Amino acid sequence: MFARKIVHTLCGVVLLGVFATSAASAMLDTRHATYFTFSRSVQLPGVTLPAGTYVFEVSNAGSGSSLVLVRSRDRSTVHAFKLTNAIYRPASRNLEAAITFGETSAGNPPPVKAWYPESETAGREFIY
The DSSP line for the chain is -HHHHHHHHHHHHHHHHHHHHHHHHHHT-GGGEEEEEESS-EEETTEEEPSEEEEEEETTGGGT--EEEEEETTS-SEEEEEEEEEEEPPTTS-SS-EEEE----TTSPPBEEEEE-TT-SEEEEEP-
Answer for the pair 51, 40: CB distance below 8 angstroms, yes or no: yes
Answer whether residue 18 is part of any domain. no
Answer whether residue 35 is part of any domain. yes
Task: Evaluate if pTM is beyond 0.95.
Answer: no
Answer whether residue 56 is part of any domain. yes
For residues 47 and 15, the model is more confident at 47
For residues 82 and 6, the model is more confident at 82
Q: How many domains does the chain have?
A: 1
Domain containing 69 equals 30-126
Answer whether residue 11 is part of any domain. no
Answer for the pair 82, 44: CB distance below 8 angstroms, yes or no: yes
Percent of the chain with pLDDT over 70: 72
Answer whether residue 23 is part of any domain. no
Answer whether residue 115 is part of any domain. yes
For residues 90 and 104, the model is more confident at 104
Answer for the pair 43, 109: CB distance below 8 angstroms, yes or no: yes
Answer whether residue 25 is part of any domain. no
Answer whether residue 65 is part of any domain. yes
Answer for the pair 101, 112: CB distance below 8 angstroms, yes or no: yes
